Amino acid sequence: METKQIIETLKQAKKEAKKRNFVQKVDMVINLKDLDLKKNENHVDFFAQLHFSVGKKMKVCALCGPELLEEAKKVCDEAIPQTDFPKYAADKAAAKKLAESYDFFIAQANIMPQVAQTFGKVFGPRAKMPNPKAGCVVPPKATLGPLYEKLQNTVRIMAKKDPVIHLLTGNEDMKEEEVADNIKTIYNQLIHHLPGETNNVKEIFVKLSMGKPVKLN
């Protein structure tokens, strides 16, 4: 996959989309093939670290005990103390609203059993549980600044039920070279998580929020 080729496809996608009075997102759609997702070993689920933002601020919430609370309040967009967990355990609607309000959740490692018990049934199906693969399960005295910055350029790539991956890769106001770099980085990391590598990729499309998909050859 060449950067020049991606930029040409991105330009075509912009032509295919009518101008709107808001900044449209740039999405990447990857259709997979010859992958039996009924088998757990074929599931795709990993975090990709990009060189650039995807054009939106990633909101991060910390679920923490007293040791991490002050640091979490200083760094994260929200910090939920352990003492508030019973409120969310008793109010599923509040837990759902919390899950939908944040992109990533950080959890203090020594209270993970309480985090799982309180939020697991709501966060789990939404792929929002604090995930050690993304570095989101941290020690009680962790410094959260570097993790918060890392998560701003992190995307989760998943295919467990359907052989389709739909990802935000940027927006129309970003430099085309940056969006292209994000697309290329995602592709290069994805193929290493597929048993057949490039042979499991059927086709890739690039589109703006309100535009038609354009195939990336």
Q: Where are the domains of the chain?
A: 3-55+153-216, 60-151
Q: From start to end of the chain, where are the E strands?
A: 25-32, 44-49, 60-64, 78-81, 104-108, 137-138, 154-159, 164-171, 201-208, 214-216
Count other Cβ atoms within 10 Å, centred on residue 96.
Answer: 14
Q: Is 109 exposed, middle or buried (0-12, 13-18, 19+ CB in 10 A)?
A: middle
CATH number of 60-151: 3.40.50.790
Q: Domain 3-55+153-216 class?
A: alpha beta
**pLDDT tens-place values along the chain, 217 residues long:** 789 999 999 999 988 888 888 989 999 999 999 999 999 999 999 999 999 999 999 999 999 999 999 999 999 999 999 999 999 999 999 999 999 999 999 999 999 999 999 999 999 999 999 999 999 999 999 999 999 999 999 999 999 999 999 999 999 999 999 999 999 999 999 999 999 999 999 999 999 988 899 999 8
Q: Do the first three CATH levels of 3-55+153-216 and 60-151 match, i.e. the same topology?
A: no
